[in-house]
Amino acid sequence: MMFVAVDRYMAISSPLVPKKSKRYYIKAVFAVWVSALTINLPWLYVFQLEPVDPGSNIQGFS
């Protein structure tokens, strides 16, 4: 969302500058995905699922 906002800001604030190339946008999308995965990857190691005993008092979502 931040990239889209910055791109729109640049397009509105300087309309006479030529548009970016397709390669630029492909690199930007790749960078956004890599940064998102880098930020969220530690969650994979921090949180673990543990089974709940059948006789426990925990209610599931339904």
Q: Give CA torsion, residues 45, 36, 27, 14, to 10 deg.
A: -160
Between CA 27 and CA 12 the distance in angstroms is 22
Residue 34's pLDDT is what? 95
pTM: 0.59
pLDDT digits (tens, 9 = 90+) for 2-51: 888 988 898 899 888 888 899 999 999 999 999 999 999 988 888 877 77
Residue 60's pLDDT is what? 60
Residue 61's pLDDT is what? 61
Between CA 38 and CA 50 the distance in angstroms is 25
Handedness of CA 42, 4, 2, 31 (dihedral sign): positive
pLDDT greater at residue 60 or residue 1: 1
**pLDDT over 60 at 62, yes or no:** no
